[in-house]
Amino acid sequence: MTKNADAPLPIYAFNGDADGLCALQQLRLAEGPDAVLVTGVKRDIHLLRRVAGGAGVRVTVLDVSHDQNRDDALRLLDEGASLRYFDHHFAGELPAHPRFEAHINTAPDVCTSALVNGYLRGRHARWAIVGAYGDALTTLGEALARAHGIGGEALGRLAQLGLLLNYNAYGDTVDDLHFAPEALAEALLPFADPLAFVEASDVFAALNDGYRDDMAKAHALPAGRDVPGTRLICLPGEAWARRASGTLANELLQREPERALAVLSPKPGGGFVVSLRVPAGCATGADDFCRQFETGGGRKRAAGINHLPEAEFDGFAARFEAAFRV
């Protein structure tokens, strides 16, 4: 557990994907850059396990489910810490505690970056737009862009940055990623304007090159297992495939928006990571389906399972196809 030697500094526990990074960036630009960062790959969501509490400790949690961190949230409060929570995933029962501040909205058209944008009254809205596009919430990104007079080529670059930041977060461990999320957060920090980051940072170019190479391999994969209304794809057990898994799932859903999609990535130690995407208005939410499994969770249209044992593959496939078959 982190010892919090820098206890007077604010602690940010944030998802390492685009939404978590862009929520963090807005708050650090508005409230000051000095902080202790706690993060990991996209599926590393039990972040509060790594934080120690104490009187005067201030923890802000960004884009990870309270339901998955409830015990440690209560522990931190008991230890004297204060918690500020921004999120859009299933939250479960929230603490009724004077040092717990919740900014949680689980509507399917909301992301954490947009919640922080509202909290800051649009002070760093361009980063919220990046976060929305990174979370594959195109309609939300477009709405934020219209509200702030952004369009054309500039909007296209913000959308591409969001896609790349999100792509970078997928992997079994940080070693799979091009950049560790905390390193990426520090690379973003000097740039109040994400367009300046796109123009000036070598990090953007490196992410773009990696994305292009990985997705070229992903597009050459076999079509997968189809039944009416669903598609299930098993990726090879390679780092490039783990990096491409989430972006591939979002891309295929955009291409076939009426079909539910499951992308399974083999884990180096056995089992699978599952990325699930479902059509808008689906009677069964992606998060509801994934929470049937021990390590599942997420949002209404996009969810996942952090570890599906190999022995459960056939049962998962049958339940997936039964739930979303048309």
From CA 92, how far away is CA 109, in angstroms rounded? 19
Residue 169 has pLDDT above 50, yes or no: yes
From CA 126, how far away is CA 305, in angstroms rounded? 31
What value does the mean pLDDT take over residues 48-56?
96
From CA 126, how far away is CA 148, in angstroms rounded? 8
Of 106-120, 135-149, 201-215, 293-307, the poorest mean pLDDT is in 293-307
Return the pLDDT at 8.
66
Phi, then psi, of 280 in degrees rounded to 5: -60, 140
Answer whether 173's CB lies under 8 Å from 131's CB: no
**Share of residues in the chain with pLDDT > 70 (%):** 98
Return the pLDDT at 3.
46
What DSSP string describes 56-106?
T-EEEEESS-HHHHHHHHHHHHHTT-EEEEEE-S---SPP--TTEEEEE--
Residue 185 has pLDDT above 70, yes or no: yes
Residue with tokens 């500020």: 84
pTM equals 0.88
Residue 284 has pLDDT above 80, yes or no: yes
Structural domains present in the chain: 11-209 (3.90.1640), 221-324 (3.10.310.30)
User: What's the sign of the alpha-carbon dihedral 241, 243, 244, 245?
Assistant: positive
**7 — alpha (psi -120 to 50), left (phi > 0) or beta?**
alpha
pLDDT tens digits for range 16-35: 999 999 999 999 999 999 99
Of 126-135, 138-147, 220-229, the poorest mean pLDDT is in 220-229
Return the pLDDT at 280.
87
Angle 230-231-234 (CA atoms, 0-180°, nearest 5)?
Answer: 150
Of 60-69, 119-128, 273-282, the poorest mean pLDDT is in 273-282
Cα of 154 vs its chain's centroid, Å: 23
Residue with tokens 């040092």: 99
User: What's the sign of the alpha-carbon dihedral 308, 279, 259, 22?
Assistant: negative
Beta strands in 105-241 (DSSP E): 225-227, 230-234
Q: How many CB atoms lie within 10 A of CB 294?
A: 11
The residue length of the chain stands at 326
What value does the mean pLDDT take over residues 85-110?
96
DSSP code at position 47: G
User: What's the sign of the alpha-carbon dihedral 242, 246, 247, 250?
Assistant: positive
pLDDT tens digits for range 291-323: 999 999 888 888 999 999 999 999 999 999 999
SS3 category, 115:
helix
Answer whether 68's CB lies under 8 Å from 46's CB: yes
pLDDT tens digits for range 30-40: 999 999 999 99
From CA 148, how far away is CA 141, in angstroms rounded? 11
Return the pLDDT at 286.
93
Residue 234 has pLDDT above 60, yes or no: yes
What value does the mean pLDDT take over residues 247-255?
88
Residue 197 has pLDDT above 80, yes or no: yes
Answer whether 64's CB lies under 8 Å from 45's CB: yes
pLDDT tens digits for range 131-154: 999 999 999 999 999 999 999 999
DSSP code at position 135: T
Which residues are CB-contacts of 11 (< 8 A; sequence separation ≥ 6)? 4, 35, 36, 37, 38, 51, 57, 58, 59, 60
Residue 4 has pLDDT above 60, yes or no: no
What value does the mean pLDDT take over residues 250-276?
92
Residue 190 has pLDDT above 80, yes or no: yes
Of 49-63, 97-111, 156-170, 237-251, the poorest mean pLDDT is in 237-251
From CA 318, how far away is CA 175, in angstroms rounded? 33
From CA 254, how far away is CA 279, in angstroms rounded? 9
Helix 112-119 to helix 125-134 angle (10° resolution) is 170
